[in-house]
C-alpha cells in the first residue's frame, strides 16, 4: 500500500486499530479529521515537509473526497498512520489503553524528529 | 535533466542526510551557492557598455553618469573593475548592483568593459536547481557538498541535525571559499599574480567621489 490517498491512510489505520469490519468502531470522519490535524501538527514540527504550502492554505481532508492525494513525502507517511491511531486511541474508550495512545503519539513525534525511530 | 555532478551531489546529500527532503536540499543549496559566490567572486562576467561624455555634473544629471549593465545569467553582486577599450582602468561606483556610476566623465564616446562578480539570480533549471556555470560545480564539488551538509546539519530539530558535524563541514566550506577567492584573483593560475599587465595601472589609486 503506497499511502497516496486519504482512503489508503484510513485502510491502513483500521488494520492497526483492528477495526476493519463494518459497522466500524471508529467513524471514518474521525480518522480523516485526525489526518488533517496531523498536517497542522507537522507544520509545527517539520515545516520543511509542507514548504509548498507556505504561501497557501494547508491541505484539509474530508470524507467527501477519499481519493484526494495526501501531499506528504514517502519517508514520513507511516508517521501519519501512527498519528491517526494515536489520536483515535486518546479518546475515552473501554477498548483502549492510555499507554497505547502514548506509544503511537510518541512514535509519530520521534519519526518526525529523529532517525532511529 | 540535471548534470551528472548535480545528481551526484544530491545523491551524496540524500545518503548522508537521512530523512532530508529534496525540496529542502535544493533550498539549502541555493544558500550555499550564494555564500560561495559572494565570498569568492569565482563567478565572473565581462560586460561591455557604451559611454558618452556629458557636460552635466553628476548632481545636475545623475542619469547621464549612470550606466545599467545586465549579466547573461545570475545577478551582479559587485564590480571587480572597469576598463576602457584601451584597457585603462576607470574609477566607478556601484551602490545599486547593476548600475555603474562613473567617477569621471570620458573625454570621448567609448566602450567600457565592466568585470562583475555574480551570485545566483532567479533562473532555475527545469528540475528546480539554480542555474550557474557547470565548471564551478565540477571544480568545487566537494566544497559545495561540505557547505550543503553543514547547512542541513545545522538545522534545528531534524532527523539529520548534528551541530558537531555541521561545524566540521562548515569549517571546511569556509576554508574552501577563501581558497576559491584566491584562485579567482589569480585566474586559476598556480602562483599567478593578481594583476594584469601593465601593473602600474592597477596600482593607481583613484579617489572615489
Domain locations along chain A: 6-113
Residues B67, B170: one domain?
no
Residue B77 C-alpha, separation from nearest chain A C-alpha, in angstroms: 28
Residues B15, B68: one domain?
no
What pLDDT, on a 0 to 100 scale, did the predictor assign at position B185?
87
Residue A114 C-alpha, separation from nearest chain B C-alpha, in angstroms: 4
Is B160 within the bounds of a domain? yes
Candidates B21, B27, B157; nearest CB to A73: B21
Cell of A17: 486499530
Check whether B149 has a pLDDT greater than 80: yes
Is the CB of B159 less than 8 angstroms away from the CB of A48?
no
Is the previous residue joined to B198 through a cis bond, with omega within 30 degrees of 0? yes
Is B127 within the bounds of a domain? no
A47 chain-B contacts, CB cut-off 8 A: none
Residues B9, B109: one domain?
no
Last residue of a domain, one of B94, B119, B144: B119
pLDDT digits (tens, 9 = 90+) for A91-115: 877 776 788 899 999 999 999 999 8
Residues B37, B52: one domain?
no
3-state DSSP assignment of residue B111: strand
Those residues whose C-beta lies under 8 Å from the C-beta of residue B107, and which sit 6 or more positions away, are B53
Is the CB of B159 less than 8 angstroms away from the CB of A114?
yes
pLDDT digits (tens, 9 = 90+) for B28-61: 999 999 999 999 999 999 999 999 999 999 899 9
Q: What is the mean pLDDT of residues B76-103?
A: 95
Residues B138, B176: one domain?
yes
Residues B32, B63: one domain?
no
Check whether B199 has a pLDDT greater than 60: no
Is B172 within the bounds of a domain? yes
* CB B130 within 8 Å of CB B120: yes
Residue A53 C-alpha, separation from nearest chain B C-alpha, in angstroms: 12
Residues B141, B174: one domain?
yes
3-state DSSP assignment of residue B29: helix
Check whether B205 has a pLDDT greater than 70: no
Residue in chain A lying closest to B162 (CA): A114
pLDDT band at B189 (very low <50, low <70, confident <90, very high): confident
A48 chain-B contacts, CB cut-off 8 A: 21, 23-24, 158
Last residue of a domain, one of B68, B94, B119: B119
Is B190 within the bounds of a domain? no
What pLDDT, on a 0 to 100 scale, did the predictor assign at position B200?
54
A113 chain-B contacts, CB cut-off 8 A: 157-159
Residue B24 C-alpha, separation from nearest chain A C-alpha, in angstroms: 6
pLDDT digits (tens, 9 = 90+) for A18-30: 999 999 999 999 9
Is A46 at the interface with chain B, CB within 8 A?
Answer: yes
Is B108 within the bounds of a domain? yes
Is B208 within the bounds of a domain? no
pLDDT digits (tens, 9 = 90+) for B92-127: 999 999 999 999 999 999 999 999 999 999 888 888
Cell of B10: 544530491
Residues B19, B82: one domain?
no
Q: How many domains does chain B have?
A: 2
Give the orientation angle of helix A28-45 with respect to helix A6-16, to 10 degrees: 100
pLDDT band at A117 (very low <50, low <70, confident <90, very high): low
Check whether B136 has a pLDDT greater than 80: yes
Those residues whose C-beta lies under 8 Å from the C-beta of residue B82, and which sit 6 or more positions away, are B89, B90, B91, B92, B100, B112, B113, B114, B115
Domain that holds residue B169: 4-41+132-185
* CB A45 within 8 Å of CB B161: no
Handedness of CA B90, B96, B99, B101 (dihedral sign): negative
Residues B160, B178: one domain?
yes
Last residue of a domain, one of B119, B146, B172: B119
Say what the ipTM of the complex is: 0.86
Is A56 at the interface with chain B, CB within 8 A?
Answer: no
pLDDT digits (tens, 9 = 90+) for B66-75: 999 999 999 9
Is the CB of A46 less than 8 angstroms away from the CB of B24?
no
Q: What is the mean pLDDT of residues B5-31?
A: 95
Amino acid at each position: 500500500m503506497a499511502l497516496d490517498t486519504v482512503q489508503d491512510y484510513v485502510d491502513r489505520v483500521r488494520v492497526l486499530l483492528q477495526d476493519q469490519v463494518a459497522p466500524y468502531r471508529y467513524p471514518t470522519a474521525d480518522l480523516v479529521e485526525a489526518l488533517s490535524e496531523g498536517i497542522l501538527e507537522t507544520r509545527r514540527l517539520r515545516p520543511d515537509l509542507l514548504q509548498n504550502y507556505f504561501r497557501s492554505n494547508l491541505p484539509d481532508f474530508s470524507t467527501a473526497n477519499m481519493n484526494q492525494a495526501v501531499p506528504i513525502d514517502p519517508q514520513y507517511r507511516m508517521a501519519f498512520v501512527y498519528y491517526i491511531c494515536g489520536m483515535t486511541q486518546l479518546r475515552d474508550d473501554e477498548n483502549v489503553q492510555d499507554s497505547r495512545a502514548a506509544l503511537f503519539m510518541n512514535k509519530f513525534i520521534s519519526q518526525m524528529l529523529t532517525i532511529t525511530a | 535533466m540535471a548534470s551528472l555532478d548535480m545528481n551526484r551531489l544530491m545523491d551524496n546529500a540524500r545518503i548522508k542526510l537521512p530523512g532530508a527532503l529534496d525540496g529542502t536540499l535544493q533550498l539549502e543549496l541555493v544558500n550555499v551557492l550564494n555564500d560561495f559566490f559572494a565570498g569568492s567572486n569565482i563567478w565572473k562576467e565581462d560586460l561591455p557598455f557604451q559611454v558618452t561624455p556629458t557636460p552635466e555634473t553628476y548632481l545636475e544629471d545623475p542619469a547621464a553618469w549612470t550606466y545599467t549593465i545586465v549579466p547573461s545569467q545570475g545577478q551582479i553582486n559587485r564590480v571587480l573593475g572597469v576598463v576602457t577599450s584601451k584597457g585603462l582602468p576607470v574609477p566607478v561606483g556601484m551602490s545599486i548592483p547593476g548600475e555603474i556610476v562613473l567617477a569621471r566623465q570620458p573625454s570621448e564616446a567609448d566602450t567600457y568593459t565592466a568585470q562583475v562578480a555574480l551570485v545566483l539570480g532567479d533562473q532555475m533549471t527545469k528540475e528546480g536547481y539554480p542555474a550557474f556555470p557547470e565548471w564551478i560545480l565540477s571544480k568545487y564539488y566537494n566544497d559545495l557538498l561540505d557547505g550543503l551538509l553543514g547547512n542541513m546539519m545545522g538545522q534545528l530539530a531534524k532527523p539529520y541535525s548534528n551541530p558537531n558535524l555541521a561545524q566540521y563541514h562548515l569549517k571546511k566550506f569556509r576554508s574552501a571559499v577563501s581558497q576559491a577567492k584566491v584562485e579567482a584573483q589569480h585566474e586559476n593560475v598556480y602562483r599567478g599574480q593578481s594583476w594584469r599587465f601593465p601593473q602600474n595601472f592597477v596600482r593607481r589609486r583613484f579617489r572615489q567621489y
